[in-house]
């Protein structure tokens, strides 16, 4: 298994720099295949869509291929349930406006204090038309949602529940089956922010039975782009804001203006890259692309095992460093309840100082609140520079974990 991931590293040109990229939660590096797909688009298909000439038809085919790839990645029923956009935040703001057309005074939306602000602020804007926001809080001790309060947070007036698949700050993997089941029982629409979840766990929107799910391909080895899944029957019922000549059918009517065709080409390549990894990990009998969904599930499961193994060492090492305080689940027996993302502070140093010093040594980590604005303020970190975040991706190695820990030990001294 380790040999496979060593070979995978060779496909990422950025790693040749020697930099230790632990900034993956903010955006991963990309393999050569993704770079090639983007540049090939510009060479061979650079045109707007729906034209009656060759490059436009190639663009149409690339967009169709991108929808098919994303539908396989999240196990959607149809490529027509895939909406492309600039990023998850823009798509969620667009969706909130569309949903808001049917919401009014005293209708309720449930959000969580644990989420990235892209899954909070778009819903807060609905307060302008009288919508009531209800909060599902989290436990500061281990940064997990207080699910014992879930049923009483959802009321007869709740129209939408918005929840993250995993916390981008603390790595907490939320119990989506339980949360979404409670919403369905109350006939409430559900929106899942899977941006931090998607790089680390397989997704099956049919199994989850959610109405909407958003993710960001640049967090799983693709270009800067956003994707929104919407259950087809729900997408067709909504009335999104758009220009008049734009198509009236989903998903096109949710994609305002010209799409980033080159990014969509890269998204398809990123998913094919992951499927190829699944094929290498399997028996070799799985067909491709017909078996892509099974291959992707296999790849994500292997990635999760690889990352969890590395993270166990990273977490144990952090615990041994004097002055380090870790936020989130720290029990090694509960590593499956979190992604390989560590959020911590170092006594006597601001998060910015830690990130800067590590950066000087070629180790890239994030500092601040990472847009988990509510969560950081809930923990009292909002006005103290937030925290340091180090996250593992499939291309990280045991040696890189040791380099990070060694550098942090020296900094702590």
Residue-wise DSSP of 189-244: EEEEE-TTTTTTS---HHHHT-SEEEE-GGGTTS-S-EEEEE-HHHHHH------T
Pairing outcome for strands 387-391 and 366-368: antiparallel
Residues 223 and 308 in one domain: no
Residue-wise pLDDT for 309-357, tens only, equals 999 999 999 999 999 999 999 999 999 999 999 999 999 999 999 999 9
Q: Is residue 279 part of a domain?
A: no
CA distance 311 to 308: 5
HSE-CB of 135 using CA atoms within 13 angstroms = 12
In Å, the largest CA–CA distance within the chain is 66
Residues 251 and 205 in one domain: yes
Q: Is residue 128 part of a domain?
A: yes
Residue-wise pLDDT for 35-93, tens only, equals 999 999 999 999 999 999 999 999 999 999 999 999 999 999 999 999 999 999 999 99
Residue-wise pLDDT for 272-310, tens only, equals 999 999 998 875 545 555 689 999 999 999 999 999 999
Residues 147, 175 contacting (CB under 8 angstroms): yes
| Amino acid 106: pLDDT | 87
The domain of 302 spans 2-30+294-412
Pairing outcome for strands 212-215 and 189-193: parallel
Please state the domain count of the chain: 2
Other CB atoms within 10 Å distance of the CB of residue 95? 25
Residues 74 and 223 in one domain: yes
Q: Is residue 283 part of a domain?
A: no
Last residue of a domain, one of 237, 270, 303: 270
Residues 91 and 174 in one domain: yes
| Amino acid 288: pLDDT | 54
For the chain, what's the residue count? 413
Q: Is residue 398 part of a domain?
A: yes
- DSSP state, residue 348: T
Work out the percent of the chain whose per-residue pLDDT is above 70: 98
| Amino acid 95: pLDDT | 98
| Amino acid 282: pLDDT | 76
In sequence order, the 6+-apart residues with CB closer than 8 A to the CB of 66 are: 82, 84, 264, 265, 267, 268
Residues 79 and 195 in one domain: yes
How far is C-alpha 325 from the geometric centre of its chain's CA atoms? 25
Supply 189's token pair: 């629409």
Q: Is residue 276 part of a domain?
A: no
| Amino acid 51: pLDDT | 97
Residues 63, 261 contacting (CB under 8 angstroms): yes
Look over the chain and give the mean of its residue pLDDT values, rounded to a whole number.
96
Other CB atoms within 10 Å distance of the CB of residue 182? 18
What stretch of H or E contains 406? helix 398-412
Residues 255 and 193 in one domain: yes
CA distance 124 to 152: 20
pLDDT value at 257 more than 70: yes
pLDDT value at 1 more than 70: no
Supply 193's token pair: 């922010």
Residues 147 and 234 in one domain: yes
Residues 173, 165 contacting (CB under 8 angstroms): yes
Nearest to 32 by CA among 270, 277, 345, 313: 270
Residues 161, 190 contacting (CB under 8 angstroms): yes
Residue-wise pLDDT for 204-226, tens only, equals 999 999 999 999 999 999 999 99
Whichever domain contains 21, its CATH number is 3.90.1150.10
Residues 328, 143 contacting (CB under 8 angstroms): yes
Q: Is residue 43 part of a domain?
A: yes
Cα separation values, 110 from 137, 240, 342, 370, Å: 11, 21, 27, 22
CA distance 209 to 231: 9
Q: Is residue 285 part of a domain?
A: no
Residues 55 and 128 in one domain: yes
Q: Is residue 197 part of a domain?
A: yes
Residues 364 and 393 in one domain: yes
DSSP string of 158-179, one letter each residue: EEEEEEESB-TTT-BB--HHHH
Cα separation values, 160 from 109, 150, 172, 233, Å: 5, 13, 22, 16
Query: What is the mean predicted confidence (pLDDT) over 394-411?
Result: 98
- DSSP state, residue 86: S
Residues 20 and 51 in one domain: no
| Amino acid 71: pLDDT | 98
Residues 248 and 330 in one domain: no
Whichever domain contains 155, its CATH number is 3.40.640.10
Residues 199 and 233 in one domain: yes
């Amino acid at each position: 298994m380790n040999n496979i991931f060593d070979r995978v590293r060779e496909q990422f040109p950025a790693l040749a720099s020697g930099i230790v990229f632990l900034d993956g939660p903010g955006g991963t590096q990309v393999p050569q295949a993704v770079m090639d797909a983007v540049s090939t688009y510009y060479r061979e298909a650079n045109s707007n869509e729906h034209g009656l000439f060759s490059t436009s038809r190639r663009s149409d085919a690339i967009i169709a291929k991108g929808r098919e790839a994303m539908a396989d990645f999240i196990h959607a029923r149809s490529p027509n349930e895939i909406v492309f956009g600039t990023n998850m935040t823009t798509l969620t703001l667009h969706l909130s406006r569309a949903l808001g057309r049917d919401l009014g005074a005293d209708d309720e939306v449930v959000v969580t204090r644990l989420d990235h602000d892209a899954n909070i602020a778009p819903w807060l804007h609905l307060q302008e038309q009288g919508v009531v926001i209800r909060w599902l809080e989290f436990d500061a001790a281990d940064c997990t949602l207080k699910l014992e309060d879930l049923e009483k947070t959802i009321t007869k007036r709740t129209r939408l529940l918005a929840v993250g698949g995993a916390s981008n700050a603390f790595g907490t993997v939320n119990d989506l089956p339980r949360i979404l089941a409670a919403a369905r029982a109350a006939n409430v629409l559900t929106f899942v922010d899977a941006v931090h979840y998607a790089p680390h766990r397989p997704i099956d929107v049919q199994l989850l039975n959610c109405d909407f799910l958003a993710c960001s391909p640049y967090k799983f080895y693709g270009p800067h782009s956003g994707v929104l899944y919407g259950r087809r029957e729900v997408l067709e019922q909504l009335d999104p804001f758009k220009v008049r000549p734009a198509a009236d059918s989903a998903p096109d009517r949710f994609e305002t203006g010209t799409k980033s065709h080159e990014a969509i080409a890269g998204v398809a390549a990123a998913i094919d890259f992951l499927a190829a990894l699944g094929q290498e990990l399997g028996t070799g009998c799985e067909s491709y692309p017909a078996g892509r969904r099974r291959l992707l599930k296999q790849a994500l499961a292997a990635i999760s095992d690889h990352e969890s193994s590395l993270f166990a060492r990273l977490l144990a090492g952090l615990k041994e460093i004097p002055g380090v305080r870790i936020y989130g689940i720290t029990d090694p027996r509960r590593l499956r309840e979190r992604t390989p993302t560590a959020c911590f502070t170092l006594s006597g140093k601001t998060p910015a100082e830690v990130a800067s010093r590590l950066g000087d040594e070629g180790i890239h980590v994030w500092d601040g609140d990472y847009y988990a604005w509510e969560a950081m303020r809930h923990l009292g970190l909002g006005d103290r520079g937030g925290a340091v975040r180090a996250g593992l991706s499939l291309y990280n190695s045991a040696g890189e974990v040791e380099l990070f820990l060694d550098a942090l030990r020296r900094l702590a001294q």
